[in-house]
Each structure stands twice: as structure tokens, then as C-alpha cells.
Amino acid sequence: MRRFIILTAVTAALAAASIAPASAVPGNGTGQSTFAIRCGARVVHLTIANGTWSAAYVQETGERFIPKATYVTVTDAQTGEILFREADVKPGAAKQSNLGCVDSVRDAGVIVTFVVRGRLI
């Protein structure tokens, strides 16, 4: 009996030693992309994977950004006229944080502005 207990303890110890620690740093998975975006007063790099509402990994802090709503606006660069506007709010997003991240791109006479609101955890 004592031999069985020792063998079980050694097996458990070896199994525990072989388990790799969990890592929040994303790998180079399929469908994964990293981009810079202004969040508050700073620019951060977010890595996102598949899924409309997937959490994004913040490279600078190791935190996760949980999106709650996205907004896209396309504006005529010369006149300021809004040509297209779309909002997509996650169901049950009543506890939305006040952190907003913004990116704008000017191309072919239009300005495309992307805003995502969410929270950091």
C-alpha cells in the first residue's frame, strides 16, 4: 500500500511539472491581426482573433479589451457630409464602460472613422 501511495504521489508530481503555465499572450493563430488604435490619450496595439465580439489583447499592458459597441462613419473629406453611418451594440451591453478607442483613415476623398467602446480587464 505504501508503495502505491508513493507511486501515485510521484506520478502526480511529474504530471504537474509537465503542465505549461497559461499565457495570455496570443500566438500567431489563423485569422488573428494586430493594429494600432488611439484609446483615450494613448495609442495601443490590439491583437484580435476571430469573432465579432472577441476580446482583444493589449500588447502594451497585457490587459484584455472587451468590446461593447462599434461605430463606423464615412464622411466626405471636402464637404463634411456623412455618407454612411453604422452602429453595432453588443446585446446586454448596459454595463458599457466609458473607454473609447478611435481610428480614422483618409482615402479617396473620404474619411473613415472607426470607434469601439468597451472595458479593460
pLDDT at position 85 is 97
94-119 as b/e, with b when 16 or more CB fall inside 10 Å? Answer: eebeeeebeeeeeeeebebeebbbbb
Q: pLDDT tens digits for the chain (121 residues)?
A: 433 333 333 333 333 333 333 344 555 556 688 889 998 889 999 998 877 788 899 999 999 998 889 999 999 999 999 999 999 988 876 566 678 899 999 999 999 999 999 888 8
pLDDT at position 119 is 87
How far is 101 from 41, CA to CA, in rounded Å?
10
Q: Is residue 1 in some structural domain? A: no
| Number of compact structural domains in the chain | 1
Q: Is residue 5 in some structural domain? A: no
**Domain containing residue 95:** 30-120
Q: Is residue 8 in some structural domain? A: no
Whether this prediction's pTM lies above 0.75 is answered by no
Q: Is residue 101 in some structural domain? A: yes
